[in-house]
Each structure stands twice: as structure tokens, then as C-alpha cells.
């Protein structure tokens, strides 16, 4: 196994004002630029492409190093020569989401109608809109069919939507720590995060960029809270326990776990935008593809084999949510392999390497095509 070396993020305009993106909700959006990276080589037959879908706050930089950077891509442990997603065999595509803030058009992009950032004038988007944009990227790269699509958390949900929207395009789908439907508790946590952001006086109704500020206090609180839900009580107990930093009680940072959370909140401010958080978290609330009979009919036409993976300590998107997806997919006649992986790291397990996880993905991707078709 070896790591990928230096990579660069590419950018391409896939929709224009004259050829805009038509959103499911009825609005149009243009131009739409997409930031993406690729690893490995596309085969002459163009049959070895794997699309990697990132989570809520991820980005296109899934593997390798950017020149001058120290931190490798967010799924570098999975993608590389000899790794589960083997770049000696596969051509891997990773793209930032529509509505994001890491190179793909989102609410901080310039609205051509005003010359200023969209702010809250950015249209409400749905999971299907993210898929539409990434399908256009695949088309732009000259690829018709995907050997596989692989996603964790929101990324897994995007893969599910992609199979629904293009039942003939994806041969193998990996859904890790995902769900077909957020629970009331999931929605509740997102509601608190949005309240923290939008009640920050620096939010300025979403026009904070024009005021030269960001709603940093609210976004930090939102991230600190969300981070607790991405890990587990046992992982926090194991990593930090009740270890203190100082001796006497203060209202500052007295416990190691507090220091860790503050660090998570502060570093998040360096890489993520509050409006993207609003749009993408709201999109997740509304994601509920199995509620529409037409989607189930499309799934019955799909050529996709599924590998669903949950993690036993993930309480944000717990195993029951994966089991629900598995049941419906099987009712649609699809081939689905499912495992709950033992891991103490909560929802974030999908970014880590608990025993059996990468092996399960590698084995699934190794299957010849004839095995995975119905």
C-alpha cells in the first residue's frame, strides 16, 4: 500500500446562465462550477470509475496532499495504491457538493443577478440536485457508467439518491453510516445548530460576508454540539475521561474534553461556511426518498448491488436506520449485503479504520460484475 502524492483540485463550469441547473424545486441556477479531484487513471474502456461522495462538511480533497499542506485528504486511509479503493485499478472521482463552500457553487458564490453573494437568496436545494450536478461532472469526464459509488453519512445518502435518479448508472453502491430518513432526534440536533448560527448577531440575515464578518460564535457552538453526536460516550471516555487541565474550577476550559471540543469548533471556522451548513443540514432533514412510490419503482429497475455498513456505536445514524434501508432495498429486489461493524468511535467510524470495515469495502469492490447484477 502506498499513499497518493500531490494532487490538485480542478474546477469546471458545468452549468451556465444560458444552460442553467434545473433544480427539483423548480428554480434554476447558473453558473454552477464544481471543484473535484481524481486519483488513478481512467481505463481505455472507461469502466473503472469510482465516485466518492463526501459527508456534510467534507470536500473534494479526499486523498493525497495539496502542495504545501500537511494534512492529507479526508479519506486517504481508504483511497490509494493497494488500499480498499485501489488507485492502481480504479479511477477515483471526488467532488465538492452543490451548496458547499469548498469550491463548488454555493450560497457564498456570486449571484449574477446582483453581483453580490447569494446569501439566503440561494435556492433551497435537495439531495437530487447534488446528484444532478455530480452526474454532469461524470458526463463531462466522458464516463457513462460507474464501477461504484461510495459514500459515508450524507455521502451515502447521496449515493442512494443517485441510484434512484439513474438506476442504470452505478454498478456497486457502498453506503456507510447512512440513512434513508433522519429521525426526529436528528432533525432536533440540526435545528439547534441552525438556531445557534442564525441567532448570532453577526449572521446579518445571511449577508455577513458583505458586513465583513462571519457568525463565528454560532457556527462554533453548532460544530461543538454536532461533534459530540459524531463520536460516542465510550470514545470520549477513553480519550479524555474526566482529566482536568487546571486545578480550581473556572468557567474556562477546565477539562481535556472541553479543550478538544473548543479546538474542533475553532478549526471548523477555518474551513466551513455557516450558510452552507444551513443549506446542507436542511437538505438532510427533508431527505426521505422511500416516501415516494415513484422512487421505489426506480429502485426496482436498478442494476446496482449494495453494500450497507453501519457502526455499533453510531448513535447519530444508528444501525436501525441502515437496517431500514436494507429492508426496503431488498423489497425492491436488489442485492444487498449488510454488516454492522464493531467500532467504538461513533458516527465518525466511517472515516476511520475499524477492523473489517475497509476489508468489507475492498471485498465488495473486488467482485466481478456478473456477481453483483441481479
Residue numbers at the binding site for a second copy (CB under 8 A): 25, 120, 124, 181-185, 187-189, 191-192, 194-196, 198-201, 217-218, 220-221, 224-225, 228, 232-233, 236-237, 239-242, 248-251, 253-255, 257-258, 261-262, 265, 278, 282, 285-286, 288, 315
Catalytic residue among 200, 347, 348, 349: 347
Is residue 54 annotated as a catalytic residue, yes or no? no
| Shortest Cβ 249–a second copy spacing (Å) | 5
Is residue 153 annotated as a catalytic residue, yes or no? yes
| Shortest Cβ 366–a second copy spacing (Å) | 36
Report how far residue 84's alpha carbon sits from residue 67's, in angstroms, rounded to the nearest whole number. Answer: 25
3-state SS class at 24: coil
| Shortest Cβ 371–a second copy spacing (Å) | 36
Cβ proximity to a second copy: between 38 and 132 the closer is 132
Cβ proximity to a second copy: between 155 and 215 the closer is 215
Cβ proximity to a second copy: between 172 and 282 the closer is 282
| Shortest Cβ 329–a second copy spacing (Å) | 20
110-111 and 91-95 as β-strands: parallel, antiparallel, unpaired? unpaired
Cβ proximity to a second copy: between 6 and 286 the closer is 286
Decide: residue 238, CB within 10 A, 0-12 exposed, 13-18 middle, 19+ buried: exposed
**Cα distance from N-terminal residue to C-terminal residue, the chain:** 33
291 phi and psi angles, rounded to 5 deg: -70, -15
123 DSSP assignment: P
Q: Under a CB-based contact definition with an 8 Å cutoff, are residues 332 and 296 in contact?
A: yes
Residues contacting 330, CB < 8 A, separation 6+ = 336
Catalytic residue among 59, 76, 153, 276: 153
28-29 and 79-80 as β-strands: parallel, antiparallel, unpaired? unpaired
Cβ proximity to a second copy: between 122 and 357 the closer is 122
Residues shown for the chain: 374
| Shortest Cβ 186–a second copy spacing (Å) | 8
Catalytic residue among 314, 318, 345, 348: 314
Cβ proximity to a second copy: between 164 and 224 the closer is 224
DSSP string, 324-372: HHHHHHHHTT--EEEEEEP-TTGGGGGGS--TTHHHHHHHHHHS-HHHH
Is residue 165 annotated as a catalytic residue, yes or no? no
Cβ proximity to a second copy: between 13 and 188 the closer is 188
Report how far residue 312's alpha carbon sits from residue 259's, in angstroms, rounded to the nearest whole number. Answer: 27
Identify the sign of the CA torsion 242, 248, 249, 254: negative
3-state SS class at 239: helix
Q: Under a CB-based contact definition with an 8 Å cutoff, are residues 321 and 291 in contact?
A: no
| Shortest Cβ 374–a second copy spacing (Å) | 31
Decide: residue 217, CB within 10 A, 0-12 exposed, 13-18 middle, 19+ buried: middle
3-state SS class at 321: helix
| Shortest Cβ 312–a second copy spacing (Å) | 15
Q: Which residues are catalytic?
A: 153, 314, 347
Amino acid at each position: 500500500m502506498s499513499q497518493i502524492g500531490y494532487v490538485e483540485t480542478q474546477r469546471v463550469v458545468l452549468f451556465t446562465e444560458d444552460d442553467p441547473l434545473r433544480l427539483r424545486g423548480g428554480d434554476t441556477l447558473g453558473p454552477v462550477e464544481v471543484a473535484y479531484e481524481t486519483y488513478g487513471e481512467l481505463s481505455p474502456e472507461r469502466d473503472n470509475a469510482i465516485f466518492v461522495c463526501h459527508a456534510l462538511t467534507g470536500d473534494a480533497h479526499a486523498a493525497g496532499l495539496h502542495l504545501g499542506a500537511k494534512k492529507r485528504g479526508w479519506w486517504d486511509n481508504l483511497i490509494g495504491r493497494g488500499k480498499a479503493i485501489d488507485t492502481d485499478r480504479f479511477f477515483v472521482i471526488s467532488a465538492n457538493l452543490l451548496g458547499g463552500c469548498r469550491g463548488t457553487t454555493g450560497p457564498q458564490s456570486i449571484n449574477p443577478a446582483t453581483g453580490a453573494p447569494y446569501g439566503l437568496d440561494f435556492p433551497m436545494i435537495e439531495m437530487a440536485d447534488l446528484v444532478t450536478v455530480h452526474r454532469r461532472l461524470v458526463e463531462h469526464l466522458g464516463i457513462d457508467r460507474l464501477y461504484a459509488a461510495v459514500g459515508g453519512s450524507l455521502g451515502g445518502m447521496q449515493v442512494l439518491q443517485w441510484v434512484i435518479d439513474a438506476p442504470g448508472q452505478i454498478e456497486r453502491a457502498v453506503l456507510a453510516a447512512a440513512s434513508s430518513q433522519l429521525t426526529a432526534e436528528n432533525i432536533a440536533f440540526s435545528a439547534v445548530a441552525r438556531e445557534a448560527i442564525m441567532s448570532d448577531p453577526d449572521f446579518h440575515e445571511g449577508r455577513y460576508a458583505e458586513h465583513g464578518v462571519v457568525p463565528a460564535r454560532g457556527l462554533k457552538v453548532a460544530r461543538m454540539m454536532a461533534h459530540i453526536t459524531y463520536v460516542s460516550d465510550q470514545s470520549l471516555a477513553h480519550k479524555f475521561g474526566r482529566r482536568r487541565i487546571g486545578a480550581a474550577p473556572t468557567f474556562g476550559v477546565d477539562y481535556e474534553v472541553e479543550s478538544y471540543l473548543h479546538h474542533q469548533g475553532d478549526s471548523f471556522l477555518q474551513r466551513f461556511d455557516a450558510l452552507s451548513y444551513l443549506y446542507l443540514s436542511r437538505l438532510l432533514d427533508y431527505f426521505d426518498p422511500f416516501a415516494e412510490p415513484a422512487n421505489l419503482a426506480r429502485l426496482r429497475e436498478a442494476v446496482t448491488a449494495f453494500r450497507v455498513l453501519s457502526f455499533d456505536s453510531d448513535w447519530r445514524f444508528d444501525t436501525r436506520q441502515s437496517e431500514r434501508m436494507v429492508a426496503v432495498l431488498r423489497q425492491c429486489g436488489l442485492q444487498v449485503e449488510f454488516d454492522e461493524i464493531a467500532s467504538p468511535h461513533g458516527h465518525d467510524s466511517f472515516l476511520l479504520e475499524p477492523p473489517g470495515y475497509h476489508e468489507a469495502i475492498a471485498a465488495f469492490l473486488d467482485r466481478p460484475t456478473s456477481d453483483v447484477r441481479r
